Chains A and B, each alone.
Chain A
Amino acid sequence: MSSRKDQNAAARMVRDQIAKEQRRKRTMWISIAAVSALVIAGLIGWGIYAGAKTTEFTAPKGANTAGNGITNGSGPVVVDEYVDFLCPHCKTFHDEAAASIDQLAADGKITLITHPVAYLDGASTNRYSTRASAASGCAAEYGKFTAFADVLFANQPAEGGAGPTDDDLIALGRQAGLGDDFAQCVRDKRFVNWAGHVSEEAGRAGVTGTPTVLVNGKPTQASAATIAAAVAAAAGATPSASTS
């Protein structure tokens, strides 16, 4: 019944079948290998994230009750400012508006809460954002946060390179009138975890970039005039002569 030709055809069919089956198996193993590689890649990312999560922290003196910013003044309108000491726009904002905002706080019009976030650690080779934020915590601990922030912005490094070292930060602290206890605090990295906490809370609050300014919780353009106007509106008064 089966001629030689039929046998050959049948054999070829079997061979094709086997080849197909082999290819299927190979594809399956390759796919498994590829998916494993992806899963491992994902786990690496997750592991780094979980490992970097801040846990314990102590807020410095002068921090608000939430422990995520330094307060200045005790006026009725709350102004939150989120700044990164490495962010160029924050320096521009600081140079333009810090004096008038500090005045609003001194006049008892606002409670200023400065959140020194460390968002730009990727923009310096030595985690300047985190170290500067932690050092500003030390400055707050010894009552010179505002003066130290002024010095930091006046000496802001360029993005992309190495920022001031801890020793440089200590030297900058001396310019702001800070002493040996501040130096020890910076060396002990006492507020590095706090810097992480400030950044995490800022992220949770939806702050994705710096500078971000909130007047009574409402996003406001980061400039002296708009902040003064927003504060005046929030206080239910017309802008005072001192801010115009």
Chain B
Amino acid sequence: MDERTGWHRAQPWVSLLVRLGLAGVFLVAGGLKVTDLAANGRAVNAYQIMSYDAAMVVGAIQPFVEIAVGLLLLIGLATRLAAWLSAGMMVAFIAGISSAWARGLNIDCGCFSKGGQLPPGVTPNYLPEIFRDVAFLAMAIFLIIYPVSRFSLDARLDRPFSAEPAEDDVLEEDSDESTDHTAQRRGRA
């Protein structure tokens, strides 16, 4: 399995960096918004994509989901799933910003702030915001392709890849019946 190439040894470390980087992005973005949900709802409403009430609900839910995804990435649980969700959110954000741009809206994207309308005379800077989200999207896609990373709960739970010998190593010698048993035990845990 281990092809002893440089990349094979480096990949889990690179994945770790990407995972923690993306976790930081989501925790910061969610943390900044979670203190004022109404303001975030108005920021969503500023995109004029959905009704006011829908925007307020989305605005209230989004920071918590961002923090949850950030925490999953931080501890490395369900990394690939969390990466898929990250990628999905980034695609949605990129689409939202592009659509605001295309419609000539003059808004703050609200990516790392409370967002809203920009004061007159201030021109929005959509392109860097889109590039930044594309970079985050690339990080998420990397994690989808290479979800195995160092210091992750996934690796800890995935015993066959674990360095330390686990009690289930009986699996190697035991009969089918008892292995079945082990699987059930683990399933219930």
The 8 A-B residue pairs whose C-beta atoms are closest, nearest first, are: A122-B36, A49-B60, A34-B78, A41-B68, A208-B116, A45-B64, A41-B64, A45-B61
Q: How far is the CA of A45 from the CA of B48 in the complex (A)?
A: 21
- Chain A residues close to B by CB (< 8 Å): 14-15, 18-19, 21-23, 25-26, 29-31, 33-35, 37-38, 40-42, 44-46, 48-49, 52, 89, 119-122, 199, 203-204, 206-209, 212, 221-222
Contact across chains for A29 and B52 when beta carbons are under 8 A apart:
no
Q: How far is the CA of A38 from the CA of B82 in the complex (A)?
A: 10
Binary contact readout B77-95 vs A (1 if CB under 8 angstroms, 0 otherwise): 1100110010000000000
Residues in B whose Cβ lies below 8 Å from that of A42: 61, 64-65
User: Is B99 on the interface with A (CB-CB < 8 A)?
Assistant: no
Q: How far is the CA of A89 from the CA of B101 in the complex (A)?
A: 25
Residues in A whose Cβ lies below 8 Å from that of B158: 23, 26
Contact across chains for A46 and B60 when beta carbons are under 8 A apart:
yes
Contact across chains for B61 and A46 when beta carbons are under 8 A apart:
yes
Q: Which of A45, A52, A121 has the most CB of B within 10 A?
A: A45
User: Is B28 on the interface with A (CB-CB < 8 A)?
Assistant: no
Contact across chains for A45 and B186 when beta carbons are under 8 A apart:
no
Q: How far is the CA of A122 from the CA of B61 in the complex (A)?
A: 17
Known contacts: A49-B56, A203-B45. The answer to whether A29 contacts B187 by CB under 8 A is yes
Known contacts: A30-B157, A34-B81. The answer to whether A122 contacts B35 by CB under 8 A is yes
When C-beta atoms are compared, the residue in chain B nearest to A196 turns out to be B38
Known contacts: A42-B64, A49-B56. The answer to whether A33 contacts B77 by CB under 8 A is yes
Partner of B45 from the list A34, A38, A208 (CB cut-off 8 Å) is A208
**Number of A-B residue pairs having CB atoms within 8 Å of each other in the complex:** 116
Q: Is chain B's interface secondary structure helix, strand, loop, or mixed overall? A: helix
Contact across chains for B186 and A26 when beta carbons are under 8 A apart:
yes
Kindly provide the distance from the CB of B179 to the nearest chain A CB, expressed in whole angstroms. Answer: 5
When C-beta atoms are compared, the residue in chain A nearest to B69 turns out to be A38
Kindly provide the distance from the CB of A205 to the nearest chain B CB, expressed in whole angstroms. Answer: 9
* A-B contact list, 7 entries, CB within 8 Å: A15-B171, A15-B179, A26-B157, A31-B78, A34-B72, A119-B39, A208-B107
User: Is B67 on the interface with A (CB-CB < 8 A)?
Assistant: yes
Partner of A41 from the list B67, B107, B171 (CB cut-off 8 Å) is B67
Residues of B in contact, count (CB < 8 Å): 52
User: Is B172 on the interface with A (CB-CB < 8 A)?
Assistant: yes
Kindly provide the distance from the CB of B11 to the nearest chain A CB, expressed in whole angstroms. Answer: 19
Q: Which of B57, B59, B78 has the most CB of A within 10 A?
A: B78
When C-beta atoms are compared, the residue in chain A nearest to B71 turns out to be A37
Residues in A whose Cβ lies below 8 Å from that of B38: 52, 119, 121, 199, 203
Residues in B whose Cβ lies below 8 Å from that of A46: 57, 60-61
Q: How far is the CA of A121 from the CA of B114 in the complex (A)?
A: 11
Contact across chains for B41 and A203 when beta carbons are under 8 A apart:
yes
Kindly provide the distance from the CB of B14 to the nearest chain A CB, expressed in whole angstroms. Answer: 22
Residues in B whose Cβ lies below 8 Å from that of A25: 183, 186-187
Q: How far is the CA of A242 from the CA of B173 in the complex (A)?
A: 98
Contact across chains for A22 and B37 when beta carbons are under 8 A apart:
no
Binary contact readout B92-135 vs A (1 if CB under 8 angstroms, 0 otherwise): 00000000000000010000001111111000000000000000
Residues in B whose Cβ lies below 8 Å from that of A204: 52
Q: How far is the CA of A199 from the CA of B37 in the complex (A)?
A: 13
Q: How far is the CA of A122 from the CA of B35 in the complex (A)?
A: 6
Q: How far is the CA of A200 from the CA of B35 in the complex (A)?
A: 17
Kindly provide the distance from the CB of A15 to the nearest chain B CB, expressed in whole angstroms. Answer: 7
Residues in A whose Cβ lies below 8 Å from that of B116: 208-209
Q: How far is the CA of A203 from the CA of B51 in the complex (A)?
A: 11
Q: How far is the CA of A208 from the CA of B38 in the complex (A)?
A: 11
